Amino acid sequence: MNIGELKHTGLKQWIEDAVALMGPDSVEVCDGSQAEYDRMIQLTIDAGLATPLNPQKLPGCVLFRSDPSDVARVENRTYIASEKQEDAGPTNNWVDPAELKKTMTELYRGSMKGRTMYVIPFSMGPVGSDIAKIGVEITDSPYVVANMHIMTRVGAKVLDVLGSGGYYVPCFHSVGKPLEPGKQDGGTWPCAPLDKKYISHFPETREIWSYGSGYGGNALLGKKCLALRIASVLARDEGWLAEHMLILKITNPQGEVKYITGAFPSACGKTNLAMLVPKLPGWKVETVGDDIAWMKFGADGRLYAINPEAGFFGVAPGTNMESNPNAMLTIKKNTIYTNVALTEDKDVWWEMIGSDAPGKLIDWNGNEWVQDKNNKEQKPAAHPNSRFTAPAKQCPVIAQEWEDPRGVPISAFLFGGRRPKTIPLVNQAKSWIHGVFMGSIVGSEVTAAALDLKAGTIRRDPFAMLPFCGYHMGDYFKHWIKIGQSHDESRLPKIFFVNWFRKNEAGKFIWPGYGDNSRVLAWIFDRCNGADNYVETAIGNLPKPDAISRPGGVSEADMKEICSVDTEGWKKEIADVRENHYPKFGDKLPGELAAELDAIEKRLGV
């Protein structure tokens, strides 16, 4: 389709203005077809940017290597350009929107010379769902087009829903590397220098402008940019929730089904939980989504969730047949790999894949690499943030409802972090407001090496939304509180906090995690049915002794330790929240959370 065939006059004008500014050699409106995807992949192979992988081992798969400056989210180049600085809040980078647009307009001027401009109409969520939203991304990267084919629903069917005047989120993207006449990329990943990279969000006008990066969420603008940073603003204004949450379908031995969402900071096992293989006999776990949940209220007063994405954009290192067999099976075909290592027979390898490197590899920088286990300083063959992009429909445990436009009814929210001490295995909030308090203090303890912080320091990541909330986090807390105040609490999901990462005095994990986490999910499932399997404590409802079946290797004493209140530890936790965390939000901190902090402190006998 060409621009002239578009029915939406506003969209047509927006594209024409972009063409005049960016100066591409040609323009294509993406149709979302398999032939188009195949053509994008072939273009990148021909340009020397992609390597076809072994068709016997990984049919339909390719490997990309990005520039070393373009391997991850660049938080210090990510902006929430609200009209007022105070509306961005203390957890976001703010730039005056008029100044930022002026700077970026000059960067965009002529940025697509020598390239094709691709116009990607995409739906976040099943096309036509009342919970879904439409975006249109302009890009000069065939890599982005191919990834967006996997991660979103692209093409003519989206334009049909948009019609002649429907609402869409406009998304600009350019790799920021125009080509002189007759020049090609020559196998070099196209991007701009770090100080010219911008990932910018304009909350009031609902626009996304990205420049200079061709990687991940910086360039796949349906991902964190639309699905969280802009959608969180839309959700606040329209009365729903856009959250950094997985969605699980759980079926008990009696055939009863519940749906649960969960928010976890990075490195806390979120994707592994999303595709969990239960070790509890008779229980079944299926995946609705692994990263993002959009939730709106149904006529029955319950929250219904969709997974707005159509694919998985997962971190490769650490993914293996023990940690996440379903992910490993999902990425066996039709997958885009980025920055993993290449074997001599055109297979892929990464650290913690479950086996030693098979001989000589080509690392993510394109250099020969041979594993040397005696060299602790050896650089990894795969980048720590190397990724796979795979269609969700290929997941062996994808739930049949995953594309239901009505969404699935949510019974419970889980929050969690990596906490070696204090936080119990599972804890149910006493009320909605107590649950919001629990979500607001989510954090993980980190090593000094990880974040240049004192060992044992807690890095707070409220609701696991710290890098993704498109407005002031204090107002975000207030939005959650209003959701509870304006709806029947008995119809709202129950709220739980989980922690798979408690350690004993010897520094060993007490709980085995992975498939054994199904034992905790079973307790949560029964709590949602009102089961008398809990004891009330100062910090919430904890499991009764023997309410959670013990895995092998976990003693009764272990269970008592991880399912009881560490009063002294909690006193320190509350003090840290009061002294170091909540003050960040100033007068935007809701009074209800300050009162909840006082109440818990009182119950603990501080």
| Whole-Å CA distances, 236 to 208, 232, 243, 263, 470 | 18, 6, 11, 18, 10
**Do residues 246 and 276 lie in contact, with contact meaning Cβ atoms separated by under 8 Å?**
no
| Whole-Å CA distances, 223 to 292, 308, 566 | 9, 9, 39
Let me know how long the chain is. Answer: 606
How far is it, in rounded angstroms, from Cα 262 to Cα 463?
9
Pairing of strands 116-124, 26-29: parallel
Residue 415: phi and psi, rounded to 5, are -120, 150
Structure tokens at 94: 């703010």
- Half-sphere exposure for 509 (CA within 13 Å, toward CB): 10
Q: Is 263 helix (H, G, I), strand (E, B) or coil?
A: strand
How far is it, in rounded angstroms, from Cα 487 to Cα 482?
8
Please list the residues that pair with 116 across neighbouring strands: 26
Q: Is residue 256 within a helix (H) or strand (E), and if so which, with residue range?
A: none
What's the CA dihedral at 414, 312, 91, 586 to 10 degrees? -20
Q: Which residues contact 451 (CB under 8 A, 6 or more apart)?
A: 457, 459
How far is it, in rounded angstroms, from Cα 572 to Cα 421?
11
How far is it, in rounded angstroms, from Cα 107 to Cα 440?
38
Q: Is 403 helix (H, G, I), strand (E, B) or coil?
A: coil
**Do residues 200 and 81 lie in contact, with contact meaning Cβ atoms separated by under 8 Å?**
yes
Q: Is residue 498 within a helix (H) or strand (E), and if so which, with residue range?
A: strand 494-498
**Do residues 154 and 120 lie in contact, with contact meaning Cβ atoms separated by under 8 Å?**
yes
How far is it, in rounded angstroms, from Cα 125 to Cα 133?
7
Q: Which residues contact 413 (CB under 8 A, 6 or more apart)?
A: 245, 260, 261, 262, 263, 435, 439, 493, 494, 495, 496
**Do residues 531 and 522 lie in contact, with contact meaning Cβ atoms separated by under 8 Å?**
no
Quick count: other Cβ atoms within 10 Å of Cβ 521? 26
**How many distinct helices (H) and strands (E) make up the chain?**
17, 30
Pairing of strands 426-428, 311-315: unpaired
How far is it, in rounded angstroms, from Cα 57 to Cα 236?
46
In angstroms and rounded to an integer, the radius of gyration of the C-alpha atoms of the chain is: 24
Q: Which residues are catalytic?
A: 268
Pairing of strands 494-498, 408-416: parallel
